[in-house]
Chains A and B, each alone.
Chain A
Amino acid sequence: MKNPLQTAKESFASTLGIPREIILGSSFVSMLSNKNIQIENHQGIIKYTPSTVEVKTSQGKIKFKGTDLSIESLITEEILVTGTINSVEFFYE
């Protein structure tokens, strides 16, 4: 069951046309083909190997599987992973 506060925030964001990741604090994932994946609003790395990267977000975790994965940059709230990405899985609570 969804949190009423969460629902209100979603309505507020969609009504005013404000980006959801700012209001809801949700992570923003952008991918360039299967080579680059950028995640904004993350909460840290859970696991990192050349074949698997798991990143924590406010809603749960995102898991990438692939080959030759490397973390191109890691700064506050933004992570860029490069390599050959074969799958992306979302594990949301």
Chain B
Amino acid sequence: MLLLRLKRLIGGYVVLQVTSPFLERFFNRLYASDFYLWDIRKKNENCATFRVLLADWPRLQELASQMGAQIRLVRKIGLCALWDKIRHRKVFVFGCAAAVCCYLYLSSFVWTVSFYGLRTLKEPEVRNWVYASGIREMMLKKDVDIDRFSMVLLKNYPEIASVQVHMNGSQVLVQIEERDAPIRIYDRDIPIDLVASENGTVDELVVYTGIPRVKKGQKVKKGALLISGTIPFEKGGETKRRKSHALGKIRSYKNKEISGIIINIYRPNPNAEAKKEYTFYVGKGEFNLKSRHSGAKDQVVVRRKNKKLAVGWLSLPLTYDQSSWYNKSDCRKKTEKEIYDEVYRQVKKRIMDKEEILSLSYETTPLDYHQILVTAKVKYAKNIAEEKKIP
């Protein structure tokens, strides 16, 4: 049965509709003339549809006209039928084939390299590292050695804790996880003092190795000795000194006021419809594409900046900003906790992620119908110790 179906598909067949007052006689005449018929279905008293091989179609037309039956071709099915169609559209077929070949050729290159997970590291800096490690735009995808590239990044850049690299079409996605604190390999043979990197007050002092030279609450100036690596010890009644690698954590609490944080107080519902506005950046210019949207009173806008333009799998080296305008009725107001979390995130970004936030308070001023301007007061702990070699 399967072979028969394959044979029909390859050879091609036609679906016909016959109208005749003597349908049974018509079918009997056909099968007796060695026509192979199948899928005969009656539509009404004088009308039925059936299928016959494409090769038998001309002969059947002749026979039907002899018998006075009206035959209508409903459709042609099969490879031969397809070939009949394509034969008269050579330019179109050639164009499709050329387009497919071009697409396949272009998609064999890496078009963009994107980064995710960057917190304190700057994208241009990481991009240079990636280029130095052997991956860049416009290289062949088959030349991308993901394992080797990941190892090189991890080996050469201690700020990176883990790297995951994926190929997504013609885009290389690099997911980076930064270390919370850069790994420090301490060579205990190198004698080190810890000195103050800036003016401040010692609010937290933890000594691992060495002799502390300051007390908690003491004000220090830049360069002041905080923990000494020179450790005295008694030997044979004499006081001797041993030089070691001082280790410790000295933090100063800082207060900072951060203003200019803009928070959206509405959040669109998951299935809310948005009217979009796009701003494309080409060279030094920009141009804007927007759908018609109503006035500002009843709409909430969510902006996403620096999105990469992609066509299917192909990512293009173009960035754009997208503004999505939602009806206020399709949005809900954010809770106090959600607003606090958003303020916290924005403040952490501004004070550099490495610092620990101890307390946060803020004041808000309504900016317009859906945004507030936040002024935050943050207290954070900053490490003020830096290493200095003991001569």
Judge if B31 is at the interface, Cβ distance under 8 Å: yes
The number of chain B residues touching the other chain, given as a range, is: 10 to 19
- A87: interface (CB < 8 Å): no
Quote the shortest CB–CB distance from B303 to chain A (angstroms).
60
Q: Mark B26-49, 1 if CB is under 8 A from A, else 0.
A: 011011101011111110000010
CA distance A49 to B44 in the complex (A): 8
| Chain A residues with CB below 8 A from B40, complex form | 48, 70-72, 74
Q: Is the interface of A mostly helix, strand, loop or mixed?
A: strand
Query: Which of chain A's residues 15-55 have a Cβ closer than 8 Å to chain B?
Result: 44-50
Let me know if B24 and A46 touch, CB within 8 A.
Answer: yes
Q: Name the B residues within 8 Å of A73 (CB-CB).
A: 36-39
**Closest residue of B by beta carbon distance from A44:** B28
CA distance A73 to B32 in the complex (A): 13
Most chain B Cβ neighbours within 10 Å, of A50, A71, A72, A76? A71
Q: From residue B11, how far is it (CB to closest CB) to chain A in Å? A: 16
Quote the shortest CB–CB distance from B147 to chain A (angstroms): 57
Is the CB of B351 closer than 8 A to any CB of chain A? no
CB A62 to nearest CB in B, in angstroms, measures: 14
- Determine whether the beta carbon of B23 is less than 8 Å from that of A48: yes
8 Å CB contact of B36 from A46, A47, A75: A75
Hey, what's the 0/1 contact readout for B222-238 against A, CB within 8 Å counting as 1? 00000000000000000
CB <8 Å contact, B24 and A75: no
* Chain A residues with CB under 8 A of B23: 48
CB 8 Å contact bits of A48-82 with B (1 = contact, 0 = none): 11100000000000000000001111111000000
